[in-house]
Amino acid sequence: MCGRYTLATPVAELSRIFGFSELPNLAPRYNIAPTQEIAAVRLLRDEERRELVLMRWGLVPYWADDPSIGSRMINARSESVADKPAFRSAFARRRCLVLVDGFYEWQQHGVPKGGKKQPYRIRRRDGQPFAFAGLWESWKGPKGGPELDQPLETATIVTTDANEVLKPLHHRMPVILAPEDYDAWMNPETPKDTAEALLRPCPEDWLEAYPVSTRVNNVRNEDASLVEPVEVEPAAPAAAAEEKSRQPRLL
């Protein structure tokens, strides 16, 4: 899954890498959480160009009666995204890139019941920003009710099975797209089977994982120290050997 991530790369660098022309004032973010505003790129088909947009994280289907449903739609499983009613329309016509330069995962394996889970940050080995496969929607108001003055635009992140870097932490991970697949993913003319084939774990050698402070657990904490590596406390003697074998690999 993906429930927290970072985007501190300057917008001019993001523009160069992802090919959009907008240059809004994007403040560095070190603890982006669901329901907050996120940066995404979508394809403007009439103009055949990419557009940077700010959306709320948590997809609200166009048919929803209440926008609060979005808080339960922060992720979409790749295995069912093309057919599940909440996502199938967006998958068919409204695919986007969610811009990130790292994300957090909490170690699930080897943690005793009631124990504190250790957060890890996952990033590209080369330190470059990257893109999650995303879907977006425009909600105009409850069905049969008055339309909003400004439609609510929301997005979700597609997840898949974890690769070998993430498996010691969690069984799921966000879909990280290769740059050469960006246009195919965003283009609604891309055949369904082709788009679905892009929803796979990224190569292990793209990523590295390292432990960070548990301060990231609190969404109110938002500063650069959250992405600094920390020393992990030794495991209890009886579990130390097993726990060491489960630690994420730095690739």
- Please state, in angstroms and rounded to a whole number, the distance separating the CA atoms of residues 17 and 39: 14
2 counts as catalytic:
yes
Q: 5-246 domain in CATH 3.90.1680.10?
A: yes
> Of 247 and 192, which is predicted with more confidence?
192
The token duo for 34 is 């669901």
**Catalytic residue (one of 2, 153, 202, 208):** 2
Q: What is the pLDDT of residue 241?
A: 41
**Catalytic residue (one of 105, 137, 153, 243):** 105
79 counts as catalytic:
no
User: 37-46, pLDDT tens digit by residue?
Assistant: 999 999 997 7
How far from the centroid of its chain's Cα atoms is residue 237's Cα?
36
pTM value is: 0.91
User: 22-60, pLDDT tens digit by residue?
Assistant: 999 999 999 999 999 999 999 997 778 999 999 999 999
Q: What is the pLDDT of residue 48?
A: 81
Residues pairing with 75 in the sheet:
157
Q: What is the DSSP letter of 176?
A: B
Q: What is the DSSP letter of 52?
A: E
- Decide the pairing of beta strands 95-100 and 130-139: antiparallel
User: 108-151, pLDDT tens digit by residue?
Assistant: 666 666 678 999 999 999 999 999 999 999 999 998 888 999 99
SS3 194: helix
